[in-house]
Amino acid sequence: MKTLEHMPLNGELPSPKGVALAILELCRKDDATIAEVARIAQTDPALASRLIRQANSAAHGATRPVASVTEAIMRLGMGTVRNLALGFSLVDQYQNGPCGQFDYQGFWSHSLLMGLAMQRFSNMTGAGSSEELFACGLLAQVGRLSLATVYPMEYGRLLDCQDGAVRNLVALEQEHLQTDHNELTAALLGEWGIPGALIEPIYHHEEPERSGFSPGSRPYQLVHLFYLARRVADLGLAGENERNACTAELLLLGGKIGLDAEQLGATVDDLVLQWREWGDLLRVPASALPSFAHMSAAHAMRDEGAGGASALRVLLVDDDPTTRCMMEGVLAGALGHSVVCANNGHEALALAVETQPQIVITDWMMPGMDGLDLARALRATEWGQTIYLIMLTGLETEDEVSEAFEAGVDDFLVKPVNVRTLRARLRAARHYVQLLDAWERDRAQLKQFAAELAISNRRLAHAAMTDLLTNLPNRRSGMNALAKAWAAASRFEQPLSVMMLDIDHFKRVNDSHGHAVGDTVLRDVAQAIQQSARKDDSVCRMGGEEFLVICSNTDLKAAIQAAERLRRMVERLRIQAGDAEIQTSVSIGVATREVGMTETDALVNAADRALYRAKQAGRNRSCVVVQGQMRCFP
């Protein structure tokens, strides 16, 4: 993510003023005390009352209410007080601004509800300090305010062009302003001292599935909580016609943190009450909303009404034109479903393949292919097994019912059809379709989670066997590779050699240039070893400045040649450390598997002894041990 210095900004960014700025600067000092912060905060009565209110909030779980600013700061913590003062200062300053198309009041209303929701949900899940996350929720969209402040004319035109989609707005911002509100939010939060562990989830919270965080990790939990809090805030500002999608999604998101519909409804209703109280305190508009249960019920009622995206796809099959016309009028006109009609079973089967209906209502007695044959034909297909099938019949004997259920029928309607009964049967059918849709979504999510888990496991397995600094296999991986090479050498009666390497005078590099330069030397030497190794050689970092090279199907002579080639390559390395140029070298111990060696440790120990001899002999050389005899090169 970019820093403020790398952003093409040509105006003054929003920043805290007055008391908030003084608190921010004081909290940056290591020796700042609570008494000093309280003394500054008390000079602003509005800020003082807000801090006390926040410290006494129900979400904090305090048993004794606080009455002084000092107690409030002690309870909240200086970091949280700094963030709250920052947020409240920006709310007070930017109630309006130069960008005519930007809704400043609506922005802060949304941000306030998002902050309160983040506080509540983090408190429920234990994701972090609820007070700190309240401030983070309040400031999670501050990049939008900043763009409206820095580029009032340009940003206004972008807001006129955008279609409401988050990704569309980000693309427009990048195209016309060379940055976007998420980048700017992250840069500002970093400038103000918000921890990076919180900035990353905030940066990705608009599209959490694209964050790349590992499922189950704290960033993954936080980014989804920020998204949930944002959707609650979206509901707070949504129009009546927009609440359908919000309530439906919130029910799904709430379930992911263990809230059923009743618990989620109670939580949202309580958040709206808090929102209105805080709105009065901060002079931010906060509208009254119907209860969540009422909004959910209204959503369900609209689902059952005429028209809308919730209309069911119905295939009606009857050879009687009068019955077919009456039923179509009820299904399409009164109930608002999408209806396709067929005269007989053969025509119905062809239409079913084409239209993939969710519900089939078919007469039993028809010429050619009757209702039972149609039911059996549909159930014989994979997609036909998910259709809800209602049979129309003039009689309803026990034998007929048994035969129909064996053919795959789900329900019956006795002719002549009663409209009220038909409506009741379709309500059951709708419930089945909704459950089926929910099951399909859950299955898709489980498949996605399984795929993400497999990827995460592969990453963990790779990390467990990889040295993070050099990206070479680590000691554990190297020992596993040596065991496999040993087994292969035994099975095929092939030679096996190893090289143990140590960077010469490495401690001197760390002492003279620092550990950061030492890490650079380790990485460059590791890369040189990897490049010098042959295709079938295995290289690993044993720890510190030691490396192991496993040379499969390699006799002693070839191993010595490989060691000398590697040593000369490292000797030629020139490693830049600022203005200085570092030249280094390695000492190498070479050993080959001999008769009498029964395990890998014996081979490694022999190479270790040869390495020790190479260092004794003056370093920057290779030594080999053969039947207890040592020899060094050059």
Dist. CA 346–CA 361, nearest whole Å: 14
Asked if 256 and 331 sit in the same domain, the reply is no
Provide the number of structural domains found in the chain. 3
- Which residues, 6+ apart, have CB-to-CB distance to 405 below 8 Å? none
Q: What confidence tens digit (pLDDT) does each residue in 49-90 have? A: 888 888 887 444 546 788 888 888 888 888 788 888 888 888
**Which is nearest to 115 in space by CA: 247, 266, 281, 251?**
281
Banded model confidence at residue 397, pLDDT cuts 50, 70, 90? low
Confidence (pLDDT) at 164:
60
Confidence (pLDDT) at 308:
41
The H-or-E segment that residue 360 falls in is strand 359-363
Answer whether residue 100 shows pLDDT above 60: yes
Banded model confidence at residue 7, pLDDT cuts 50, 70, 90? low
Asked if 292 and 234 sit in the same domain, the reply is yes
- Has residue 120 been placed in a domain? yes
Length of the chain: 634
List C-alpha distances in Å: 541 to 417, 522, 547, 563.
80, 10, 4, 16
Asked if 535 and 400 sit in the same domain, the reply is no
Q: What confidence tens digit (pLDDT) does each residue in 268-290 have? A: 999 999 899 888 888 889 988 88
- Has residue 416 been placed in a domain? yes
Place of tokens 């111990």: 589
List C-alpha distances in Å: 404 to 176, 343, 409.
65, 20, 6
Q: What confidence tens digit (pLDDT) does each residue in 299-326 have? A: 444 444 444 446 788 999 988 887 777 7
Confidence (pLDDT) at 165:
63
Asked if 488 and 421 sit in the same domain, the reply is no
Asked if 289 and 351 sit in the same domain, the reply is no
Asked if 292 and 317 sit in the same domain, the reply is no
Confidence (pLDDT) at 305:
46
Dist. CA 347–CA 609, nearest whole Å: 87
Confidence (pLDDT) at 487:
93
CATH for 156: 1.10.3210.10
Asked if 41 and 100 sit in the same domain, the reply is yes
Q: What confidence tens digit (pLDDT) does each residue in 175-220 have? A: 888 889 999 999 888 888 888 899 999 999 998 888 888 877 889 8
Dist. CA 495–CA 554, nearest whole Å: 5
Compute the average pLDDT of residues 429-433: 81
Of 236, 270, 300, the residue at which a domain comes to its end is 300
For the chain, the first-to-last Cα distance in angstroms comes to 51
Asked if 502 and 405 sit in the same domain, the reply is no
Compute the average pLDDT of residues 329-348: 83
Q: Which amino acid is at 572?
A: R
Confidence (pLDDT) at 299:
47
Asked if 419 and 486 sit in the same domain, the reply is no
Confidence (pLDDT) at 476:
93
CATH for 528: 3.30.70.270
Of the two residues 541 and 334, the one the predictor is more confident about is 541
Place of tokens 């199907």: 553
Q: What confidence tens digit (pLDDT) does each residue in 499-548 have? A: 999 999 999 998 888 888 999 999 999 999 999 888 889 999 999 999 99
Compute the average pLDDT of residues 383-398: 81
SS (H, E, C) 40-62: HHCCCHHHHHHHHHHHCCHHHCC
Of 265, 300, 335, the residue at which a domain comes to its end is 300
Asked if 490 and 554 sit in the same domain, the reply is yes
- Has residue 325 been placed in a domain? yes
Q: What is the average pLDDT score of the chain?
A: 85
- Has residue 465 been placed in a domain? no
Answer whether residue 620 shows pLDDT above 90: yes
- Has residue 456 been placed in a domain? no
Low-confidence winner among 1-5, 41-45, 333-337, 460-464 (lowest mean pLDDT): 1-5
CA geometry: angle 270, 273, 277, nearest 5 deg: 140
Asked if 282 and 366 sit in the same domain, the reply is no
Banded model confidence at residue 291, pLDDT cuts 50, 70, 90? confident
- Has residue 394 been placed in a domain? yes
The residue range of the domain holding 480 is: 475-633
Asked if 142 and 37 sit in the same domain, the reply is yes
Dist. CA 583–CA 564, nearest whole Å: 17
Q: What share of the chain is helix, strand, coil (3-state, %, to 5)?
A: 60, 10, 30
Confidence (pLDDT) at 3:
58
Banded model confidence at residue 634, pLDDT cuts 50, 70, 90? confident
Of 267, 300, 333, the residue at which a domain comes to its end is 300
Answer whether residue 136 shows pLDDT above 80: yes
- Has residue 96 been placed in a domain? yes
- Has residue 458 been placed in a domain? no
